[in-house]
Amino acid sequence: MRKLSIKRPSLRALTLPGLAFLLAMFFGALLIAFSDSKVLKNIGHPIAFIKAAGVAVWQSYLALFQGSIYNPNLATPHDSLLSWGPISETLVTAAPLMLAGLSVALAFRAGLFNIGAQGQFIFGSIAASYVGFHFHLPIGLHIIVAVVAAILAGSIWGGLVGLLKARTGAHEVIVTIMLNYVALYFLMYLLSTTPFLRPGRRDPISPDVLQSARMPLLLGSNYRINLGIFVALAAAVFVWWLLSRSTWGFRFRAVGANSAAAKTAGISVPFVMTAVMAISGALAGLGGAVHVLGSDFSLTSGTAGNFGFDAITVALLGRAKPMGVVFASILFGALRAGGGTMQANTDTPIDIVLVIQALVVLFIAAPSVVKWVFRLKNLKTTGELAAKGWNG
Amino acid sequence: MSLELRQITKSFGALLANDSIDLRVETGEIHAILGENGAGKSTLMNIVYGLVAADSGEIFVDDVKKEIKEPSDALASGIGMVHQHFMLVPVFTVAENIVLGHEKSGFAGRLDLDEARARIKEVSDQFNFDVNPDDLIENLPVGVQQRVEIIRALIYEAKVLILDEPTAVLTPQETDDLLKIMKELKAQGTSIIFITHKLREVKAVADRITIIRRGKVVGTASPDASQNELASLMVGREVELAPDKGTHAIGAPILIVKDLTIRDAVGRALVSNVNFEVKAGEVLAIAGVQGNGQSEVARAMVNLEAHVEGSIALNGTEVIGKSVRESLHAGIAFIPESRELDGLIGSMSIAENLILDLHDLPPYAKGIQMSPSTVVSEAEKRKDEFDIRLQSVSDPVSSLSGGNKQKVVLARELSRPVNLLVASQPTRGLDVGSIEFVHKRILEERDAGRAVLLFSTELDEVLALADRIAVMYRGAILAIVPSGVTAQELGLLMAGVVHA
Amino acid sequence: MKALSAADLRRRRSLIVLATLSILSTIVFGLLQKSGQDVTYGFVFDKEWVLISQWVIGSKTASLLFGVISVAASALSYFQFKAGKTSKIASAVGSAGILMSFISWAAAGKFIPITGLLQGALLLSVPLIFGSMAGVLSERSGVVNIAIEGQLLAGAFVSGVVASLTHSTFLGLIVAPLAGCLISTLLAVFAINFAIDQIILGFVLNVLVYGITDFLYKKLLIPYQGTWNSGPTLASIKIPLLWKIPVVGPILFDQTIIVYLMYAVVFFVNYSLFKTKWGLRTRAVGEHPTAADSVGIKVNRLRFMNVMIAGSVAGLGGAYFTVGGVGSFSKEMTAGKGFIALAALIFGRWTPWGAVSAALLFGFAGNLQSVLGIIGTPIPSEFMLMVPYLATVIAVTGFVGRVRAPAADGTPYKRGESH
C-alpha cells in the first residue's frame, strides 16, 4: 500500500524529533548550570558565570557521551577498541527498552495506551529468572524455555487487560496503572518466599540465573553486549511485519483508528483488544527476560527499574513505529548508559536523563513549541497524540 | 426587532461556506432559509449567534451595527437560537439548564433556582408546553427538550429566534405543534429565522423564503411558489421529486423477520415483536421518525445488536447468533447509518477501506500474510466501477467528499456475493448528485433480483424507491402499506396514528 | 416485571456482593476459625476522656458477632432497596461488619489499638484526599488529571526546600500550592491550548517532576542537607474540648493545620461543585462544553482556572509529606500516592464525597496492613497493599456498577467542532 520511498519523508520525519531532542538538551543544560554550586557562586559576575556554566555543562555532556558511545580513556595498549566499549553498554540497556517500547507502540497502533508495560515486564522477568535459576536444562534449551515462560507470563498479564476492556469496557489506562502496582507487590511477595530467596541471604534477592540460561555474550567477556539486542531487533522486524503486512496487524490498525467501523465491517473488536494486549504483554515480558537473562541475572524488587515507563517515552518518541522505537530506544539507552558515567564522574546526577526524556516527548507532543522556537513554518506534523479521554 | 446581514463571508480552508450573503429579517416575520445539506445555512446562523467568526461582513440589529463575537453578544442583542443538536446538558435538570450562563446566587454563593422555576412554569403554561423545571433533560423526549430550548430563548427575551433544522428529530405531529408555536410567537412580535430543507414546512409557515445554494443567496421566493419551483431553486436545476421506479419482477422471499425484539443493555425493549419479509427484486422501506427503533432493526440484520430475540432468516437460514462477519458473508450488504462513524476508517487508505471485510481472504491475503499490491490493484478496479473521484487509492479515505465516501462504502459492500442489501439512511447529508447515484444503484440491485431493505426518515426517498413501506413507531411496526400511499397518510402513520 | 433502571441494577448488584461477602466472612472468619484465642481492642490513644479503655473478646466470638451483624445489615439494606428507600447506612454498617470480622480473625491473640489504627488511616488518607480533590476539580471540568502524582511531589519538594531555607513552616505551606499550580498550569497550557492527549501529557509531566526533583535532590539536597533539606515541621494543634471526645477526638481534632485545611477543602469543593454558579458551570463544561459555550460561558478559560486550582490543592497536599510530616524531602517520596488518589477519584465516581470515602478506605487498608504487619498475621502484607489497586480494577470493570466519567472529560474544546 504505502510506497517504499525512503529518502525524503523519513528525513523530514526526523526533523521534529531531532529538534525536540536539541531543545530538551538545552533545557537540561540550563538545569545543570543553575544547580551547580560553582556556577551559582559567580552569579554576580556575568562572564565568570557563563564560563562556569559552560564548563559544568560541557563536562556533564562529555561524560554522557563518553559513557554511551566513545571513551578514549578506556583503551588499553593491547586493545584500542575498548574505547568503543560504551556502545556495548548502550545496546545492553537499549535491548529491554526496545522490547518494552515495541510493546507500548503496538498497543498504541491499536488505539490502546499500555501503561502496563512495567507490570508485564515484571512478570516476564519473574518467569524468566525462575526458569533460569530453578531448573537445570541443557544450554540452548534452557534459554528458550526461560524466554518462552517470560513471553507467556507477560502475555497473560497483558492479555488480561485486553480481555477486561473487551468484555467490560474498563479503561486500559486505569487497569494497567493499577496492575503495575499489583505486579510489583506480587514480586515483593515472591521475594519473601523460600523458592525465590537466595540461599544464605535474607534480603529480597533471588538466586542468580544459571549460566546455561544466560544470553550468550557477543564480543567476549570484555563487553556485556549479548544476544538480547538481536532478540529486540528481531522483535522490531516482527512488529513491523505484523502491523504492515499481516491480516492481524490490519485488524489492529483498523480497530485502533475506528473500532465502530471495524466492528461494522465484521472485525471482532474483543478479539483484537485481547490479542493486541497479549502480544504487547508478550513483548514487554520478553523485555524482562532479556534484562534478567542478559545483564541483571537475578531478581530484586527493583528489577524492572524504570523500563516500563521509559518504554512509554520511547514509543512516543518513536511515534509508535517499529523503526522509530528502535532509534528511540538506542537514544534513551545511550542516555541511561551515559548517565551512569556522568553521575560517577561529574556532579551531575543521572536523573537529568529523566528530565530530558520527558521534555523530548513533551516537545514532540506539542510541535507548535518546537516550530516557534526554531522559526519553522512548514514542518509537517501529524495528530497522532490527539486527545481521547476516559470515554474514548 | 429586525435583523440584517450584509456581505457575510466565511471560508473553511478551500471551501467557501458563505459567500457575500445579504439577508434581512423584518420584525414579526417568519423567514425561512431553504437550502440543501451543506449549502451553508448552519454556518451562517452560527455566525449570527457568535459561535463562528465570519471572515468579513456586518450584522445589524434594528439597523444598529453589532459586533457579535461570542454567543453572549448575540444573547445581549436579543438573538436566541434553538440548535439542531440541542445545547442542553443531559445530566442537568430543566431549571439548571435554563439558568446556566445567567445564574442568580443567594447567601454564600448558593445557586438560586426558584426564580427560574417560576419563569419556566409561566412560559410553559402560556404555550401549553407541559415542561416541569425539575425533570432531568436525559429523561425527556426530544420534542420536550426542544421546547426547553425555546423556553430558554423566550426567558432571555430573544426578539429574533433562530430555529436550525428544528423538525429533523420531530414526529409529524410534533412538527405541527412546533409550527403552531412558531405562529404564536410571531403573533407576539418575535422574528423567527427558520432553517430547513423541507419544502412542505416552509410553505406552511414562512412569510418569506431565502434560498441558499453553495454558500450563496440564489433567490427569494414567496410561500405561494410551488414545491417544484422551490426545489429547483434549491438544487440549481430541474429535479424530479418522484423519479420513475420502472417495472420489475418480484420473486420469492429472501428475508423473513419474525417476532424480532431488541433490548438495550439493561433489558428495556427498544424494538418489540417486529415482523416483515422482503422478496427478491423488491424494495421494502422502513420509514419512521428518527429514534423509533429503525436503527436497531437495521443493525440487528448483521448482528451488531447485543440483545436480540426472535428470528431473522436469510434464504431460510437463521442469522441471529452469528457473528457480524458471518452475517456479512452469508450474503448481506450493509450500508450503516453513519458512514463516518461506522462505515469507514478515516485515517486508513481508500484501498484498505475497500477490503475491510475481505482483507484476510484471497486474493488479498494468503494465510496471515497480506498482499499490498493486490489491495491497490483491486481498489483501482473498484474506483472505476463506482466512479469514485479520487487522487490516489492510497490517500486516506477522510480526504474524500461525502458522496465519494458513500461510494466507497457501497463498493465495498457490493463486492461480496449479495442476496440482501440493507441500507440505513443511505443518502443522509449527501448532495443531490450523489443522492441520485445512490438511488440508481439501489434500484439496480433490486433489478438484479436482490432484496433491498431500506431504512429512511425522508418521506420523499421512501416514496421514490419503495415497493412496500413499513412504518415504525415506538419500536413496533404500525402498518405495512403499498407504495401508492400518499405522503399525508404516511405522515400520520409516522406520528403513530392508525386509522381504520 | 418492571424493568429496573441502570442505577437500580447497579445497586442490586452491589447489594448482592455485600450479602455474599458478609455470609462468606461469617463462615470463613467466624465458623471456621479455631476458638480459644482472645483479641484485644484498645480505645485510648492519649489523654482524651475515656469511655472504655479496652475490650477483650474471644476472636471466634467476635468474628461471628461482626459477621452476623453484617449479614443482618445486608438483609436490612435489601429490604430498604425493595421498599425503594436508600440503604446507605445499612450498607456502611454491613461493610464495617465484614471488615471487623476479618480483623478479629487476623488479630486473634493480639492487641489492636483501634484509635491508633483509625488515626493512622486518616493520616495515610490525607495526601490521597488532597489528590483526589485535585482530580475532582480538574476532571469535572473536562481535563483528565493523571499528573496528580507530579503535583503532589512538586508541592512536597518545594515546600520542604523553602521551609528549610527560610526556617519557616508558614512559608513552606504558602509555596506548596504554588508549586502544584505550576505543574497544573503546564497541564492546562498543553491540554487546553495545544489539545494534546491529556493522559499522555499527565504521564509525561509526572516523569518531568520525578526527573527534576530526583536531580535536584541528589545535586543539592543531599550534599547541602543542612541548608536545603532540614526543614521544620508543623506542630499538631489540639482543638479545645473536641480533641477530648473519646476515639473521635484524637483522630480528627489533634492534627496539623494541613489536615484542618483538608477538611475545609473537601467541604468547599463539595459545596461549590453542587451548590454554586461556579459548580454548575464547571459541571456543564465537563459534560457538554458546546452547550456551555452557547450560553456564553468561556469554556477554556473556566477549565484553565479549574486545572490551576486543582494543582494548587494537590500541591498543598504535597506539603503534608514534608512540613506536615518528617520535614525533610526524600527521593520520590510521594511513592505513587498520586495514582492511588486517581484510583480514589474513579472509585468514588468523580464525586467529592465518593472520592473521600474511597481515599479513607484505601488509607485504612494501608494502615491496617502496617498494623497487622507489626503484630504479625496470616496474610502477607503485600496482598493488603494490593487492595486499593485491585478494588479499583474491580470498580472499573463494572462489577459493582459501571463508573462513568464526565462526558467531555479528556476532550479538548474547540468551537465549531461539535461533539
Bridge partner residues of B209 (DSSP): B32, B221
C152 lies in some domain: yes
**Tell me: the pLDDT tens digits for A158-190?**
999 999 998 888 888 889 988 999 999 999 999
Q: What is the pLDDT at residue A6?
A: 36
C414 lies in some domain: no
Q: What is the pLDDT at residue B173?
A: 73
- Cβ contact A366–C196 (<8 Å): yes
Q: What is the pLDDT at residue B141?
A: 80
Spatial separation of the C-alpha atoms in residues C399 and C21, rounded to whole Å: 14
Residue of B nearest to C295 (CA): B101
Domains located in chain B, CATH noted:
3-235 (3.40.50.300), 253-331+417-494 (3.40.50.300)
Q: Quick one: C69 and C131 in the same domain?
A: no
Spatial separation of the C-alpha atoms in residues A82 and A222, rounded to whole Å: 8
Q: Quick one: C84 and C156 in the same domain?
A: no
Distance from CA of A182 to the nearest CA of C (A): 5
Q: Quick one: C43 and C135 in the same domain?
A: no
Residue of B nearest to C418 (CA): B85
Chain C interface, mutation test: which of A37, A174, A391, most C Cβ atoms within 10 Å?
Answer: A174
Of residues B15 and C232, more confidently modeled:
C232
Beta strands in B13-50 (DSSP E): 15-25, 30-35
Extract the C-alpha cell encoding C363.
488509607
pLDDT band at C37 (very low <50, low <70, confident <90, very high): confident
Low-confidence ranges of chain B (pLDDT < 50): 500
Cβ–Cβ contact B301 with A under 8 A: no
Q: What is the pLDDT at residue B11?
A: 87
- Identify the domain boundary among C50, C74, C109: C109
What does DSSP say about strands B468-473 and B283-287: parallel, antiparallel, or unpaired? parallel
Residues 328-357, chain A, touching C (beta carbon < 8 A): 343, 347-349, 351-357
Cα distances from B493 to residues A27, B21, B457, in angstroms, run: 70, 39, 13
Q: Quick one: C42 and C178 in the same domain?
A: no
Q: Quick one: C302 and C332 in the same domain?
A: yes
Q: Are A137 and A256 in contact (CB under 8 A)?
A: no
pLDDT band at A319 (very low <50, low <70, confident <90, very high): confident
- Identify the domain boundary among C109, C136, C161: C109
Q: Name, in order, each residue with C-beta under 8 angstroms of C31's C-beta and a sequence gap of 6 or more.
A: C64
Chain A interface, mutation test: which of B370, B373, B375, B376, most A Cβ atoms within 10 Å?
Answer: B370
The angle that helices A85-109 and A228-245 make with each other, rounded to 10 degrees, is: 30
Percent of chain A that is helix, strand, coil (3-state, to 5): 70, 0, 25
Residues of chain C neighbouring B108 (CB-CB closer than 8 A): 271
User: pTM of the predicted model, to two decimals?
Assistant: 0.88
Residue C35 pLDDT greater than 90, yes or no? no
Cβ atoms within 10 Å of B112's Cβ, excluding its own: 14
Domain tally for chain C? 2
Q: What is the pLDDT at residue B499?
A: 62
C116 lies in some domain: no
Cβ–Cβ contact B322 with A under 8 A: no
C406 lies in some domain: no
Beta strands in C54-187 (DSSP E): 54-58, 111-113
Q: Which of C339, C397, C412 sits opposite A164 (nearest CB)?
A: C397
Q: What is the pLDDT at residue A167?
A: 86
Q: Are B145 and B86 in contact (CB under 8 A)?
A: yes
DSSP codes, A230-289: HHHHHHHHHHHHHHHHBHHHHHHHHHHH-HHHHHHTT--HHHHHHHHHHHHHHHHHHHHH
Q: Are C121 and C364 in contact (CB under 8 A)?
A: yes
- Cβ contact C204–A192 (<8 Å): no
Spatial separation of the C-alpha atoms in residues B126 and C224, rounded to whole Å: 77
Residues 341-400, chain B, touching C (beta carbon < 8 A): none
* Highest-confidence segment of A283-292, B21-30, B469-478, C407-416: A283-292
Kindly state the helix (H) or strand (E) to which residue A50 belongs, with its residue range: helix A46-68
Q: Name, in order, each residue with C-beta under 8 angstroms of A41's C-beta and a sequence gap of 6 or more.
A: A52
Cβ–Cβ contact A314 with C under 8 A: no
Q: What mean pLDDT is predicted for residues A50-65?
A: 92
What CATH number does residue C348 fall under? 1.10.3470
C288 lies in some domain: yes
Domain around C353: 123-399
Single out the residue of A300, A311, A316, A295 nearest to residue A120, CA to CA: A311
Extract the C-alpha cell encoding C152.
503532589
Q: Which of B346, B368, B412 sits opposite A257 (nearest CB)?
A: B346
* SS3 of residue B79 by DSSP: strand
Domain ranges of chain A: 93-330
Residues of chain C neighbouring B71 (CB-CB closer than 8 A): 293-296
Distance from CA of B305 to the nearest CA of A (A): 11
Q: What mean pLDDT is predicted for residues C391-410?
A: 75
- Which runs of consecutive H residues, i.e. helices, occur in C167-325? 169-188, 198-216, 225-228, 248-252, 257-275, 277-287, 289-294, 299-319
Q: Name, in order, each residue with C-beta under 8 angstroms of A224's C-beta and a sequence gap of 6 or more.
A: A88, A89, A92, A217, A295
**Tell me: the pLDDT tens digits for C346-399?**
888 899 999 999 999 889 888 888 888 787 777 788 888 888 788 888 877 765
Spatial separation of the C-alpha atoms in residues B208 and C152, rounded to whole Å: 63
Q: Quick one: C196 and C271 in the same domain?
A: yes
The overall average pLDDT reported for chain A is 89
Residues of chain B neighbouring A244 (CB-CB closer than 8 A): 372
Spatial separation of the C-alpha atoms in residues A214 and C73, rounded to whole Å: 58
Q: What is the pLDDT at residue B488?
A: 74
Which ipTM did the prediction report?
0.88
Q: Name, in order, each residue with C-beta under 8 angstroms of B1's C-beta and a sequence gap of 6 or more.
A: B27, B61, B62, B78, B159, B160, B191
Of residues B112 and A365, more confidently modeled:
B112
Cα distances from A130 to residues A285, A286, A293, B151, C210, in angstroms, run: 13, 14, 11, 70, 32
- Cβ contact B345–A250 (<8 Å): no
Spatial separation of the C-alpha atoms in residues C19 and C31, rounded to whole Å: 17
pLDDT band at C1 (very low <50, low <70, confident <90, very high): very low
Residues of chain C neighbouring A362 (CB-CB closer than 8 A): 190, 201, 204-205, 208
Q: What mean pLDDT is predicted for residues A183-212?
A: 92
Q: Which of A349, A354, A391 sits opposite C219 (nearest CB)?
A: A349
- Cβ contact A1–B352 (<8 Å): yes
Spatial separation of the C-alpha atoms in residues C34 and C32, rounded to whole Å: 7
Distance from CA of B155 to the nearest CA of C (A): 13
Single out the residue of A333, A340, A302 nearest to residue A317, CA to CA: A333
Residue C44 pLDDT greater than 90, yes or no? no
Q: Quick one: C49 and C162 in the same domain?
A: no
Chains with 3 or more CB pairs under 8 A to chain A: B, C
Q: What is the pLDDT at residue A5?
A: 36
Distance from CA of B415 to the nearest CA of C (A): 33
C412 lies in some domain: no
Residue C116 pLDDT greater than 70, yes or no? yes
Q: Using CA atoms in the order A61, A66, A68, A70, what is the torsion angle rounded to 10 degrees?
A: 130
* SS3 of residue B453 by DSSP: strand
Q: What is the pLDDT at residue B240?
A: 55
DSSP codes, B371-436: -HHHHHHHHHHHHHHTT---S-TTSBGGGS-HHHHHHHHHHHHTTS--SEEEEESTTTT--HHHHH
Single out the residue of C157, C167, C165, C176 nearest to residue C232, CA to CA: C167
C117 lies in some domain: no
Distance from CA of A106 to the nearest CA of B (A): 17
Q: What is the pLDDT at residue B245?
A: 67
Q: Quick one: C141 and C67 in the same domain?
A: no
- Cβ contact B268–C272 (<8 Å): no
Q: What mean pLDDT is predicted for residues A285-290?
A: 97
Residue C6 pLDDT greater than 80, yes or no? no
Of residues C181 and A376, more confidently modeled:
C181
Spatial separation of the C-alpha atoms in residues C278 and A21, rounded to whole Å: 41
Q: Which of A3-17, A91-105, C43-57, C83-97 has the lowest mean pLDDT?
A: A3-17
Residue C244 pLDDT greater than 70, yes or no? yes
- Cβ contact A178–C392 (<8 Å): yes
